[in-house]
């Protein structure tokens, strides 16, 4: 596709439920990032995929969070047993390689009620 | 020390003013630096890359100071449309993932 695509754009879920967020990066981009942005806050790094290397999961806030990426395509971020503090916009970005600029999707706005 | 730090602002400046933002980074091995712009409730968008020799794009100038580990963004002749949050980016340690600063809010006043 022309840009990074994320789905859903909005998700409201009940506390305790699991959610899955999807990111379709720009075709050919080897690097993929997930960030979390709480209201009025900066971008918090979650996880980084680069080609076939092991992902950098150092930003995942708890073991309720996990992410996968299939080759150099789609990535899914899963949050299990959601909590209210998980409410945020989850942004995905991709870049051609490790040193080039990253392009963002429009984000998934997650609200846990 | 945070990996990438910025003054959150807000910077309130009149139209036509020149404004400068600085951003410090902790990973001395970082090779890639960027400035992004983020409008309210939108995703960040690349404003410009920051090169070692410094670079200019119209009214915007970015510079890198490796010795002091900071990057800067200068905006000349500010426009109302420049009002946004400006995010700096550097590579983090280890895998060199991109780490964003928390952003500096700019409001250009008529």
Specify the pLDDT at position A70. 86
Q: How far is A81 from chain B (nearest CA, A)?
A: 26
**Token representation of residue A53:** 């290397």
Specify the pLDDT at position B14. 97
Specify the pLDDT at position B22. 95
Q: How far is CA B93 from CA A46, A82, B25, B28, B97, in A?
A: 14, 30, 11, 9, 8
Model pLDDT for residues A52-103, shown as the tens digit of each residue? 899 999 999 999 999 999 888 999 999 999 999 999 999 999 999 888 999 9
Cβ neighbours of A39 in B, within 8 Å = none
Mean pLDDT of A21-47: 95
Burial of B68 (0-12, 13-18, 19+ CB in 10 A): exposed
* DSSP summary character for residue B69: T
Specify the pLDDT at position A35. 97
- Among the partner residues B43, B95, B102, nearest to A56 by beta-carbon distance: B95
CA–CA dist A93, A46 (Å, integer): 11
- Residue A44: cis peptide before it, omega within 30 degrees of 0: no
Specify the pLDDT at position B73. 97
- Residue A38: cis peptide before it, omega within 30 degrees of 0: no
Containing B26, the helix (H) or strand (E) segment is: none
Model pLDDT for residues B23-81, shown as the tens digit of each residue? 999 999 999 999 999 999 999 999 999 998 899 999 999 999 999 999 999 999 999 99
User: Which of the pair, A6 or A40, is modelled with greater confidence?
Assistant: A6
Q: Do B99 and A42 touch (CB under 8 A)?
A: no
Specify the pLDDT at position A1. 53
Q: Is the pLDDT score of B104 beyond 70?
A: yes
| B65 beta partners | B70
CA–CA dist A60, B85 (Å, integer): 25
Burial of A97 (0-12, 13-18, 19+ CB in 10 A): exposed
Specify the pLDDT at position B82. 98
User: Torsions phi, psi of A84, nearest 5?
Assistant: -60, -30
Query: Tokens 């439920």 appear where?
Result: A17
Is the Cβ–Cβ distance between A108 and A19 less than 8 Å?
no
Across the A:B interface, residue pairs with CB atoms under 8 Å apart total 51
């Amino acid at each position: 596709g022309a840009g990074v695509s994320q789905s859903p754009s909005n998700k409201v879920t009940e506390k305790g439920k699991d959610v899955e967020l999807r990111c379709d990066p720009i075709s050919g981009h080897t690097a993929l990032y997930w960030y979390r942005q709480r209201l009025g806050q900066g971008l918090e790094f979650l996880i980084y995929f680069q080609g076939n290397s092991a992902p950098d999961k150092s930003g995942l806030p708890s073991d309720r969070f996990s992410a996968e990426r299939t080759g150099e395509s789609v990535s899914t971020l899963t949050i299990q047993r959601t909590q209210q503090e998980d409410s945020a916009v989850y942004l995905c970005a991709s870049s051609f390689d490790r040193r080039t600029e990253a392009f963002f999707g429009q984000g998934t706005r997650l609200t846990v009620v | 020390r945070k990996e990438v730090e910025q003054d959150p602002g807000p910077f309130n400046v009149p139209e036509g003013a020149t404004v400068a933002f600085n951003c410090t980074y902790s990973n001395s091995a970082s090779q890639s630096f960027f400035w992004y712009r983020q409008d309210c409730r939108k995703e960040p968008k690349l404003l410009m890359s920051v090169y070692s020799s410094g670079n200019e794009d119209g009214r915007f100038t970015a510079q890198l100071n490796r010795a002091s580990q900071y990057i800067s963004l200068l905006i000349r002749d500010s426009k109302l449309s420049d009002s946004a949050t400006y995010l700096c980016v550097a590579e983090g340690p280890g895998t060199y993932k991109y780490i964003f600063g928390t952003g500096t809010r700019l409001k250009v006043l008529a």
